[in-house]
Chain A
């Protein structure tokens, strides 16, 4: 399923003042493509993701997913949030099962799918725990399993590893890379980590500081399994860093 973003703008009104967050953004994400949105904080990358998810309405322009304009959230677009947003009253298994329960899938099928995705994220031993009992990294694994178990074609991730420590972050990047090689989802991934973007993405979209526009697009021509210390990797990293720095500098001017 493809994502088409056409002429998208969004203005926020606060205290009677209009602040443009996104300005005339065009973006196409191909089927099974992993696209990272990168930019300084406040550049509107999360706004863009929230509009694609259907949580926010654009001021103008439109998002078309699988041939249909987006009017609200839906099961075709799974979302992984920075703050995990698990249902605290459900167990790990219950959280992963949530979307399947809504679909009314038979119990046996639900069990099998839950088991499969708990296996995929390495949480089989924790199936009966509640979210309060889990570490941040484990919570985000549950959130990823919950989104995948619902089998959406598109996964939207809003700085999913932003709240994790550096080590856990790299472990989860590895896992997400491995999962994507199995699942082949269409992914839109918001981050402010350049390394993370180069490690995961097929394409990296660098956005300007507010109002957010697309500044430059980098196609990452690296093997599927990436080495963070390979010269080609660090080359992309430094090149994108240079472009991002220009925008960060603008914020501080």
Chain B
């Protein structure tokens, strides 16, 4: 928190100082005041909430689809050796390709509308989530499965009542990573052929030379990321009371 205040003070000092001394054109280095002004203006006319809502909706759908797919395929790959042998080399090949390299293809395939953004976010977030979820499932202690099986658990019971709860901490970490990545790439997806969204807002700032709007868009993204992360961490703490119970008693 203190570090944030420090950065803000430094930013204010440099930008207002520049304004007084005229080191570079004032328009190139927006001050906190400029950014705050754009923020309240766009908040007031409803355009900022609209951009945020558009971006978040794309993130939610793309990330949601990828999460469901990664969960299903991650469980399957971890539990079923033939599936793992088939899928793993494929994924290991695709994973290191920077997702942005494929962004133009998504525009070609899915058009300029919502489809390409959602598909791109889904594509980008699927691979790291799949790999992390499969790894979490593979880490589940085999003796837990034995214990459950000797209490009468069948295959579905094992998945539902042992594998998923045992792997849940790792699954949640995978989802958090995936969500952060979705916020990361939505901007890129919206740079190209979008008419709304935070990425579009930033691109508009570039096209019409509004540096304050660019900085404001970036700061809003930072704020959104922090809020979502804080929510997920709080959910995690509630969900995994059993892990912290030991420390508190």
Q: Which residues of A contact B (CB under 8 A)?
A: 53-55, 72-75, 77-79, 81, 83, 85, 87-91, 98-99, 101-103, 129-133, 146-147, 150, 156
Specify which chain B residues have a CB less than 8 angstroms from the CB of A130 in the assembled complex.
241-242, 245-246
Contact of A55 among B146, B242, B245 (CB under 8 A): B146
Closest Cβ of chain B: how far from A86's Cβ, in Å? 8
Closest Cβ of chain B: how far from A163's Cβ, in Å? 13
Total residues of chain B contacting the partner, CB 8 A = 24
A129 near B168 with CB under 8 A, answer no
Known contacts: A85-B143, A85-B146, A87-B165. The answer to whether A98 contacts B151 by CB under 8 A is: yes
A87 near B143 with CB under 8 A, answer no
Contact of B151 among A55, A99, A132, A156 (CB under 8 A): A99
Question: CA A102 – CA B161 in complex, angstroms?
Answer: 9
B151 near A81 with CB under 8 A, answer no
B147 near A150 with CB under 8 A, answer no
Contact of B144 among A72, A78, A85, A132 (CB under 8 A): A85
Bits for B135-153, please: 1 = Cβ < 8 Å to A, else 0: 0000001011011111111
A133 near B249 with CB under 8 A, answer yes
Using A85-B146, A89-B166, A133-B246 as known contacts, list a sample of 6 further A-B pairs with CB atoms less than 8 Å apart, ordered by residue number in A.
A54-B150, A73-B146, A74-B149, A81-B147, A102-B151, A133-B245
Known contacts: A89-B166, A99-B151, A99-B152. The answer to whether A81 contacts B143 by CB under 8 A is: yes
Specify which chain A residues have a CB less than 8 angstroms from the CB of B157 in the assembled complex.
102
A74 near B243 with CB under 8 A, answer no
B144 near A87 with CB under 8 A, answer yes
Question: CA A98 – CA B144 in complex, angstroms?
Answer: 12
A88 near B148 with CB under 8 A, answer no
A75 near B246 with CB under 8 A, answer no
Closest Cβ of chain B: how far from A175's Cβ, in Å? 20
Pairs A–B under 8 Å by Cβ, sample size 5: A79-B146, A85-B146, A88-B166, A91-B242, A133-B249
Question: CA A87 – CA B165 in complex, angstroms?
Answer: 9
